[in-house]
Amino acid sequence: MKTIILVFSFMLVSVTFASPTLTSPASYEKGLTAFRSKEYQSALTAFEKAAEQGHDDAQYFVGLLYADGLGVPQDYQQSFTWYRKAAEQGHAVSQYHLGVAYNKGLGIAQDNKQAVDWFRKAAMQDNLSAQHNLGNMYYTGQGVPQDYAQAMDWFRKTAEQGFASSQYNLGYMYYFGQGVAANHEEGITWIRKAADGGDAEAQLLIGATHHYGNDTAQDYEQALAWYHKAAEQGNAEAQTKLGLMHLNGQGVEQDYAQAAAWFLKGAEGGNNTARMKLGTLYENGLGVEKSIDKALALYREGNLDEAVIRLTALKRKMVCSSPGSTKLFDVTLKCADRDHLMAAVKNAGANVIQEDKQNWGDTYHSNNILDGSSELYIGYTSDNIFAVAQYTFPGSKDTSLVTKIKETIAEQYGQPVKASSHAELGTVTHQWNLKDGIELNISRGWPDTTTYLTYTHPEHFSMMTEEQGRQRETPSH
């Protein structure tokens, strides 16, 4: 469900400039003239003078200038103070803004019950924005028990007066049957009114109905037109939809450059689908100059499963661009796939302890394939590419075991590049950095002298651990 629209703008909402009257101080009239000319510092000085005399419109304007930082540094506490002075005199627009301040915690501790009270005071004076927001408070259950019927009543009051955001919300509730029996026709009628009134979310939804043929005939031309209206208002989802239509040649000639331009706008607006699609274009040099770095950056920013898959695949593609030389069971470890290794391990004589692609790795009895070892564990990335292999050599107070293994490895790869401690006492680590990037390690704990021989593909091992971390963070269903 899309987030229901709530109007929070601190700029003028449903308000016109008050006309000077015989009772308006001259300073207020001077403030209005300066405000209209965008001379905000002069306007503030004049409005403050009238506000100190209790003039409610002047108090409202002082609050507005502080809220928006016009002619003065933005200061929500000052803004709240002046809005409250006017609101307590019955100034409807100030009552509305006071409700917003309480709802958003601007200049005052957040208090949705107070927000509802002030929205209601303004709503009773026919302030459309307050009526709309009061409907939203009932819709979301903020400050009042959730009540779709009350929400619909308030949305309808403003929708019937042409308030586009309320028209969209009312249509949304009809369309999805919230507080009323679902009625797609009535829902689309109100949403189209909102779209005609300039509501970007409504324009997006109407565009989507034409794009996918939901509740109307599929019409790419109409979809493009409505998406453009929403996109021009900065709607990131609409910008992404336009990118997809140019990418797929729907209603327009396929144009990768135009697709990239729209995806860029959507990505800048925080749309993860846009980031993923733009990353794909950069990865393949379609409509943009090929850039693996930009593709990687966009995939990292994306939070979609598809983007994670693309990021993993691209990383592996870069890693696997050069050949490998380190072998295990006659299989080149660099970028080896799981099927080949599973077959090779068993062909070499290992007996399966556990072998299941639903797990991150497989375990085998290894005493038949490497003297002195008991088990072999091989771990893989989520797309079943080699990450790590580890032999276990059980030992009980056998301090010479690690030396024997080290000498065997040194015969093939030379002396380790890193070594720590002494074989006779304590923990031991030996490391070889092989030519193709594979790391080979021998390690022993203490006092247990069990020793481990480990082949690691650093990049793939990092991918595997990152993927395991994401899996732990994702709640199970």
pLDDT bin (cut points 50, 70, 90) of residue 34 is very high
Residue 209 has pLDDT above 50, yes or no: yes
pLDDT grade, residue 12 (50/70/90)?
very low
Q: How many angstroms separate the CA atoms of 2 and 289, rounded? A: 35
Helix, strand or coil, per DSSP, at residue 443 = strand
pLDDT of residue 311: 66
Q: Does 234-319 match 327-465 in CATH topology?
A: no
Q: Two tokens at 242?
A: 């336009």
Closest CA to 437 of 328, 335, 361, 344: 335
Q: Summarize pLDDT for 141-153 with one digit per residue, the tens.
A: 999 999 999 999 9
Mean pLDDT across the stretch 13-42? 75
**353 φ/ψ angles, rounded to the nearest 5 degrees:** -95, -50
User: Are the C-beta atoms of 212 and 218 separated by less than 8 Å?
Assistant: yes
**Would the CA dihedral through 11, 13, 19, 22 be positive or negative?**
negative
Radius of gyration, alpha carbons of the chain: 33
CATH 3.90.660 fits 327-465, yes or no: no
Q: Could you read off the pLDDT of 98-107 as tens digits, one per residue?
A: 999 999 999 9
Can you give the pTM of this predicted structure? 0.63
Locate the domains of the chain by residue range.
234-319, 327-465
| Higher pLDDT among residues 202 and 382, named by residue | 202
User: What fold, for 234-319?
Assistant: 1.25.40
- Judge contact between 389 and 455, C-beta under 8 A: yes
Model pLDDT, residue 17: 44
DSSP line for 194-223: HHHTT-HHHHHHHHHHHHHTSSS---HHHH
Q: Residue 379's closest CA among 316, 343, 350, 336?
A: 336
**Looking at residues 364-389, what average pLDDT do you find?**
92
Whole-angstrom Cα distance, residue 45 to residue 38?
13
Q: How many CB atoms lie within 10 A of CB 397?
A: 8
User: Confidence band (pLDDT; 50, 70, 90) for 314?
Assistant: low
- Measured CA to CA, the distance from residue 239 to residue 273 in angstroms comes to 11
Element (H, E) at 363: strand 361-365
Q: What is the pLDDT of residue 284?
A: 87
Residue 121 has pLDDT above 50, yes or no: yes
Q: What is the pLDDT of residues 399-432, one digit of tens each?
A: 788 888 888 899 988 999 988 767 677 889 999 9
- Tell me which residue has tokens 């080896």: 336
Give me the numbers of helices (H) and strands (E) for the chain, helices first please: 20, 10
The answer on pLDDT for 3 being more than 50 is: no
For the stretch 196-224, what's the b/e string if a residue is b when 16 or more beta carbons lie within 10 angstroms of its beta carbon? ebebbbbbbbbbbbbbeeeeeeeeeebbb
